[in-house]
């Protein structure tokens, strides 16, 4: 029997669907992500029983709801409400924002405190091309609705790509700061389709920071152990302040202190994003072993043991499957 550990809680990324709405050039194959049948997806009850067991046996510091596009899964608002009732210290959701305009207030009322929205470009043409058909105006409407609804903070995630959007970083940061959003610039990871184009597209955080430094005064904030983002207090020429963060998976990996586990929509438990491996726990969740299941606890330990300190990305998995 594996002993449970309460001292260092788990931060859980929970993918509620692998269905994508946008098919970004670095994230999804050109013909989209193969759609799995509904029966292959974990039910919300199965996800919830996993949340319970992690909470009870390991401690749970955060539940982050992802996808695919989580807002495509029917019933996601009720699921958010159920998870919110678990009183986990931190609850968040990541979305492309396309459907958010109509649902932001409902999510807030369901108990979602904060939200992350992907925003890789402020140029309508670039956005449409980069996302293979997304409409920037819908995401911008989603951001406004999130702010109006009182979701806080609203974090804007920007994956920086050379010759695609790296010339936009100051504009996106300014857009975010003007609205009181946190803006986080992500280094591209060699995962999924990005692996083949990595050399051409990758931009290091240091380069982005240098460019932002020409427009903002950037003061580092203390690094939080186990957090992925290196945050700066940014101030512009008008004295407007805000948080700008850098998620530097390649040049400053945040493995140390990582207690993140990812549960895919089909029930694979992934211990390390760079490896994309982990046990399939769907059968365990489905056969009722979930409540006090020692096998499940052992599987969680197994996934945690897959963690590595640094080292290359070795997975060909898609972020849409792993949970972006
Ligand atoms: N919700 C989206 C949809 O269906 O339109 C797709 C989810 S995608 C997996 C979510 C986020 O993952 C992206 O916006 C990006 O921030 C991040 N992402 C995906 N691939 C990445 C890569 N290779 N490197 C860095 N970030 C990546």
Domain assignment present for residue 211? The answer is yes
Burial of residue 10, with CB atoms counted within 10 A of its CB: 0-12 exposed, 13-18 middle, 19 or more buried: buried
Q: Whose CA is nearest to atom 12 of ligand 1?
A: 324
The answer to whether the CB of 68 is under 6 A from ligand 1 is: yes
Distance 15 CA to ligand 1 centre (A): 12
Query: Cα–Cα distance between 40 and 29 in angstroms, integer?
Result: 21
Q: What is the pLDDT of residue 186?
A: 98
Q: Which residues pair with 117 in a beta bridge?
A: 95, 156
Domain assignment present for residue 1? The answer is no
Domain assignment present for residue 48? The answer is yes
Distance 324 CA to ligand 1 centre (A): 5
Instruction: Give the number of the atom of ligand 1 that is nearest the alpha carbon of residue 120.
Output: 14
Q: What is the pLDDT of residue 289?
A: 52
Model pTM?
0.95
Q: What is the pLDDT of residue 256?
A: 82
Domain assignment present for residue 5? The answer is no
Q: What is the pLDDT of residue 292?
A: 56
Q: What is the CATH number of the domain that holds 282?
A: 3.20.20.70
Q: What is the pLDDT of residue 45?
A: 96
φ, ψ dihedrals at 156, nearest 5°: -100, 120
Q: What is the DSSP string of 43-79?
A: PHHHHHHHHHHHHHHT-EEEEEEESS-GGGSTTHHHH
- What's the total number of domains in the chain? 1
Q: What is the pLDDT of residue 319?
A: 81
Q: What is the pLDDT of residue 239?
A: 92
- Chunked mean pLDDT (size 10), the chain, 324 residues: 66 95 91 83 96 94 96 97 96 98 98 98 98 97 98 98 98 97 97 91 98 97 85 95 96 87 96 89 80 83 86 76 77
Range of the domain at 224: 10-322
Domain assignment present for residue 2? The answer is no
Q: What is the pLDDT of residue 253?
A: 86
Domain assignment present for residue 4? The answer is no
């Amino acid at each position: 029997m594996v002993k449970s550990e309460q001292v260092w809680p788990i931060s859980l990324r929970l993918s509620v669907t692998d269905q994508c709405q946008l098919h970004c050039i670095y994230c999804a194959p050109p013909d989209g992500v193969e759609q799995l049948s509904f029966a292959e997806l974990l039910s919300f009850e199965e996800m919830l029983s996993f949340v319970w067991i992690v909470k009870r046996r390991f401690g749970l510091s955060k539940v982050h709801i992802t996808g695919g596009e989580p807002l495509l899964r029917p019933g996601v608002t009720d699921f958010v409400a159920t998870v919110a009732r678990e009183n986990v210290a931190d609850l968040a959701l990541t979305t492309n924002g396309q459907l958010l305009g109509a649902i932001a207030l409902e999510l807030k009322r369901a108990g979602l405190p904060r939200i992350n929205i992907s925003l890789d470009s402020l140029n309508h043409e670039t956005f449409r091309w980069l996302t293979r058909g997304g409409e920037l105006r819908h995401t911008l409407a989603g951001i406004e609705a999130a702010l109006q609804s009182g979701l806080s903070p609203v974090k804007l995630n920007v994956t920086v790509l050379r010759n695609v959007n790296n010339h936009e970083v100051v504009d996106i940061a300014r857009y975010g700061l003007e609205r009181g959003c946190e803006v986080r610039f992500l280094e591209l990871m060699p995962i999924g389709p990005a692996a083949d184009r990595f050399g051409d597209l990758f931009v290091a955080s240091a380069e982005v920071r240098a460019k932002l430094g020409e427009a903002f005064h950037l003061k580092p904030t203390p690094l939080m152990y186990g957090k992925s983002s290196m945050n700066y207090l940014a101030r512009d020429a008008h004295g407007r302040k805000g948080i700008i963060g850098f998620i530097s998976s390649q040049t400053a990996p945040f493995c140390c202190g990582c207690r993140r586990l990812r549960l895919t929509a089909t029930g694979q438990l992934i211990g390390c994003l760079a490896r994309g491996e982990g046990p399939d726990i769907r059968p365990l969740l489905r056969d009722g072993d979930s409540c006090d299941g020692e096998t499940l606890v052992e599987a969680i330990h197994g996934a945690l043991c897959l963690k590595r300190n640094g080292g290359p990305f070795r997975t060909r998995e898609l972020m849409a499957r792993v949970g972006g």
